[in-house]
Structure 1
Amino acid sequence: MRLLLLAIAFALPSFASAQTAAEKQATLQYLAGLQDAATGTFKLNAKTPPGLRATSSAVRATRYLGGDLAHKDKITAFVLSCYDPATGGFHELDAKPDVTVTAIGVMAAVELGIPEAKFPKAVEYLHANAKTFEDVRIGAAALEALEKKPDWTDAWIKLADAQLNNDGTAGKGDGLARDSASVAAMKLRLGYPLANKAKVIEQIKAGQRPDGAWGKAGAKGGDGETTYRVMRSLMLAKEKPRDAAKLREFFAACRNADGGYGVAPGEPSSVSGVYYQAIVAKWLK
């Protein structure tokens, strides 16, 4: 009887399984539908104008899904057009440079193989303008992409350490896992150790919610963006979530009929939703 039940279980499709080849192709087609062939740029979703954030996420998601990037030369030209040589920052269309967009621009440039000589003052811009923890958190991602660790990152670590509780975690209540993961990932990206690492990792893992994901403080369920932060910290710490199967179920529930993914179940598809699913699936392998 037990052998029969096992045979039935293996024969049935499972939401805990990885994305199939057909599903990946449908997701790649969804992304392709958001690209403007004339400029190479991507929209966040069907209703928004194209931009650097969406383009950066789409470029990386395409790679994680094993797809070929169309109009790469045009994408490259667009990314470089968002660089402001006067300030060293990157900007969205018709906007001024800021820290977040500059970090995103650097990561897009690295992904596309654009040499740093084409955006020579970007790191200098980040150093001069990153003032908050969220600034240095995303700035650390850009430095990691460039494989740089300037000596002034010690000042960034002080901003990160200011977020910590006495036991090395960050935040409180149902926001503890997200905040702890945010600090942990930032420090690990730059090669800094975690204080009381075992405790921190334990609390991050314990924040996995019944739907399989991690979420923001006060929210009932999980979301892709918070889950991305958590999984980034676990990946850097060479750890796995407690329930990988349940996490895969969460992302399966985020999948829509158009082949894309929402940031949470029931939400419309977007480049962000696809990016979070694709990179977390990559880490779960």
Structure 2
Amino acid sequence: MKIAIITGASSGLGHQYVHTVAKKMPTLDEIWIIARRKDRLVQLAEEMPTQRFRALPYDLTDAESFHKLQGLLDKEKPQVQLLINNAGVLHNGPVASVPIEQQQQMIALNAIAPVMMVNAVLPYMQRHSSIINVASVAGFTPSPNMVVYGATKAFLLFYTKGLHAELRARGIHVLALAPGNMHTALFSATAPGDPADKKSIVDYLPFLDLPKITRRSLTIAKMDCMVYTPRLFYKLYRTLTTLVPASVMTRFSKV
């Protein structure tokens, strides 16, 4: 059985990835979609009645979810042709104002969960399979008021680069997608106590086309690229962060 696994599938970028994968990979037997809310997964599956789905209502901050996934993989023994680690959460604001439980949630979902997913799925991947880890331009340089989120995405970028090099000999493609602004629930988060209409630099940056970047990232992953940052503006920002010291960049990257 040939499958793809997509985490954070119920909304935003993950929701779009499900549609794109269903169109671009018609030979898949099933798409396993993972998110916390089963009702949203069922609704998503109903949008594409000709595609077979397996809805897995897992909370990836809970270790028990990975025991369930491991058991399912061991039972079904599928050929995993694609893993997309998209699940993520953002709580922004000064570190002292963000509850520690929310900071722990970001670390668990944005950093630990992708590592756990890869370790669970890798034994079922073969040559020409792909892994896409959804990072962020926030991982390129530290950002005041988004310290923990940026740190988790920096971890994911470094992890993905190392994994790319390690799995290349096995013919498994590994890509870090590092997007900027997207119209998703993730980027509607506001700092604790901030008025809803308070603007930050993020509100003035260009937004990305979700269908376009999902299609393009699937293609780029097969080209054995390591990092994909959509849109020229964010590509230039990525380059700038390699040239300008972090002590300077943090003056301009505050959200």
TM-score, length of structure 2 as denominator length: 0.26
> Of the two structures, which has the highest relative contact order with CA contacts closer than 8 Å and spacing of 6 or more?
2
State which structure, 1 or 2, has the greater radius of gyration over its C-alpha atoms: 1
- Structure number with higher helix proportion: 1
Which structure features the higher share of strand residues?
A: 2
Q: TM-score, normalised by structure 1?
A: 0.24
